[in-house]
Structure 1
Amino acid sequence: FAMAYSVADVTANFKKGIISFPMGMENGTGIEGDLNNLQYFYKRGIRYITLAHSKNNYICDSSYDDEPGWNGLSPFGKEVVKEMNRLGIMVDVSHISDSSFYDVIENSSTPVIASHSSCRQFTPGWERNMSDEMIKTLTDHNGIIMINFGSSFIDGEVRKTNSGHWKNLESILAANNLSFGDKESKKIIDDYFSDVEVMEVNVSQVADHIDHVVKLVGIDYVGFGSDFDGVRHVPKGLSDVSMYPNLIYEMLKKGYSEEDIEKICSENFLRVWKEVEETAKQLQLVED
C-alpha cells in the first residue's frame, strides 16, 4: 500500500504493483464552518469530501434527515463547493438531498462524484439512491455514480424490510437510553440481527444496477462504490473486496468487454479526478 495524492500517484503505484490509498472525508461537518479548513484537509491528503451524512449540516441537507433544512446548499455550502473546486477536492454528492444535488451541479465548475450511491429505479421513493433524472444530470456534467453494494441499496423490498428492523432497533435502544453510536449498542444490534431473518440479494443484482446506468447514460459514467465499511448487509458473493472477480464475471456474462470493465473498475473515476485536478490548476492560475 502507498498513499496517493493525485491521479499520477495512482498510475505510478499501479505500475509498481502497489495498491494506492487516497483519502476522503465522509461528512463536511468537520470543516467546522471555516473555509480555511478545506486547505488544512487538502494538505493532509483529503481528495474528496461527502458534503453531508445522516443529518443536515451548515453546508447542505441530507437525504436521511426529515427536518427542514436549507432546501439545497446553504450560502456557506456554495462557497465550500467553489473552494473545493479551487483546491482540487472532488465534491461527493452521496448522502445529500435531491435539492442539494441540483444546487451542487449549478455551483460546481468541475464534475462531481456520487461515491457510494445506487439507482433509485430499483428502490422507488428512496432519496438516498439517485433517480434516472439525477444520473443523467450528473453525467451531463461528466460526473460518475459509483454503485453502493449494500443490500438495501440494491433491492427495494430488502430496503423496506431492513428499514423496519432499524426502526425496531431504534425503539429498543431508546428504551435502554442508548443511541446507535454508543459502544454499548453494538451487542444489542448484533444480537437482534442474529435472531431475525435477513433477506439476501445476489451479486448479479449489483451488476443490474451497473447495467442500468450504462444503458441510461453510457459506459463512461459508472464505477464501483462498495461501502463495505458502511453497510451491515452485502450481496451473496460480494462480501468483501476479494470477491470483486464475482462481480466482474457477472459483467462479462452481460457482454461487457475488458475495456469496458477497466473503465468501470478505475478509469471512469480517474477521469473525473483528473479533470478536477486540471480545473484547480486553471483556477489557481487565474488567481496568480
Structure 2
Amino acid sequence: MSLKRIIRYFLLCATLVGCDHQEMNLQAHHLDAKRQGFDQEEIESLIREPENANDTVNQQFKNKDIAALFLLGMTKEEIRHMDREEMDFFSARSAANQWNELDEQTLKEIFKKQADHQMIRCNIDKQKLCTASTIYTDHKKKIMELTMSVSLLNREEHRYAVTLSYEWLADPKEKETDFYGILTTENAVVDYHKLYSSYKTYRDASHVNTKHDDKPYQSSVVGYVIKNSLRKENSRHFGYVYSEIVPSDRTQTYIDVEGFYVHANRKWRENDLFSFQDVSDGNRNDDAVTFKSPVIRISIRP
C-alpha cells in the first residue's frame, strides 16, 4: 500500500489516547517566547560567562558549548541528554566557533515575535538562526512538539544547517513505524555526508536508550526521510535529524524548508512506498497522522 493512501490528515485517537476511533481535533500552537526551549535571558547568560561549566543543562559542557549547539538548532532537551558520539559530531561543525557572534542585536532578531505562522521569512545573514516550535494538542492535551531550525554555517558558499527536532508530549500507545524528515524546494541540495539523526527514549531518565543514523531511509530532489521504530517498553520519545544544505546554483534567491513527522499505527512492510508528495498534500486516512512545521523561507543574498 502506498503512503499516498495512508497520510490523509489528522486522525489520531486509536493511535494515542484510545478514544474509540472518534476523530481528533488537533490544534497547532506556535511558541513565540522561547527558541528551542531557551529564552533570550538564558542565552545571554551563557555568552556572558562562556568558560564556566554548565550546571543546569549539561555538566559535560561549558556555557559556550551550549550556546554553539543552540546556534546549530539543538533543543535544550537534546543537549541535556547528548552522548559522546553526538558531541564529537557537532564539535566538528563550523558553527561550533560562532557562539560569540550571538550579540545583543542578533539575539533580538532570533527571539522576535513571528507574525506569519504559515511561512516564516528568514533573513539568515541578519538573524544567523531562524527557529520555530509547534505544539500539537487535542482537547488541550499536548501530543507532539516539532521544532524546525535553520542556521548560517558559511556565508560564502551559502551553507545552512537544518535541524528538525521532535518530542512526544504524550505516550504514543501504538508504537510501530514512524517517519520524519525535511521537505525542500528543488533549488536546494542536501549534503548527505553531513546528515545525522538521533532517537532517544526512556522510562527512567537515568537510563536513556539512544539510536543514531547517518543515512536517510529515502531521499529525493524535494527532501529526505528517516525511518524509525519506537521502543515499545518506554514512554518518553524524542529526537532530531540534522543536515546541511546549499543552493543548487548561484542564481537562487531563496530556499524553502519544512519539517514533518509521520506516525503510522500499523506495521510497515518493506515494499510499502513513501511519497514526499503525500506529505506535501496532507492527504487524509486513519492509518497515520502527519505533523508539520511552518515553512522557513531562507532569503539568499545575490
Is the TM value for this pair above 0.5? Answer: no
Larger helix percent: 1
Structure with greater contact order relative to length (CA < 8 Å, sep ≥ 6) = 2
Q: Which has the higher strand share?
A: 2
What is the TM-score when the length of structure 1 is the normalising length? 0.28
